[in-house]
Structure 1
Amino acid sequence: MNETLVTVVGNVATTPVFRELASGPVSRFRLAVTSRYYDAVQKVWADGHTNFFTVWARRSLGTNVQASLTIGEPVVVQGRLKVRDEERGGQHWTSADIDATTVGHDLSRGTAAFRRVLKANPALTDPASAREAEPEPVG
């Protein structure tokens, strides 16, 4: 299958919106990506054009995005790019969406504290089940 896979570095521009759908949880947020260039005449770095992408995160990624991201945070997003041309109510518009496979904080611009999500596992919550799951000692 020919898909356009992208990795985009930018800032969270809107609060992630979380929805529980029949197909599972989904979060979406807008990502602002501003290019930077060196202005040799003024000898300073300057901001270029800002592109905005709508990032869609599904299933457990969507749940984790909702719990982890806030406006202004620097992130790295990887996923499938989908450019849509639509017409609604006589207005024509184009949007660039990213169906995310990975979202993470950009650690070149700050720090983060990772917390693993515990999945429902009887061996982890019931000590009796955990003892049954342990292998017998050898020797």
Structure 2
Amino acid sequence: MRHVDFAAVQAGVFAQISADPEIKALIGTHIFDGVPPGVVPDLYLLIGPELVIDKSDFTQSGSEHQLLISALSRGHGFKEAKRLAGFVVNALHAKPPNLDKGRVVFVHFSKANAWRDPQLDARRVDVTFLLRCAQDDAL
């Protein structure tokens, strides 16, 4: 695996979901890569963690990114968190995110897990995506 820009996938995913009108209408700019300090919004997204696996072959560098995106709601019930998680799935399936370096070959929704997170006092829906990326360089 050469020339992999790990931040490019996160930046591309962030740009894709930030631009989605349904997500924007529901949470505005409340998309983070860690729990925000201070007052936490009632509904927000967390991007990460991410596991990257080398998928290079003899012709091209490539990687598979197992990315977790979490929808969190501090309100009662799971309805809003599940709704937000659904919008994220739709946004990433609408078209692959653009990357500064390389390209996303495909995006696959892998699984979702809804649970109560006592540490954050929130209802949480963790959505796992598989993103296959190819670098535009020859090996």
Fold shared by both chains (TM-score > 0.5): no
- Larger RCO (CA under 8 A, 6+ residues apart): 2
TM-score, structure 1 normalization? 0.29
Higher strand proportion: 1
**Larger proportion of helix:** 2
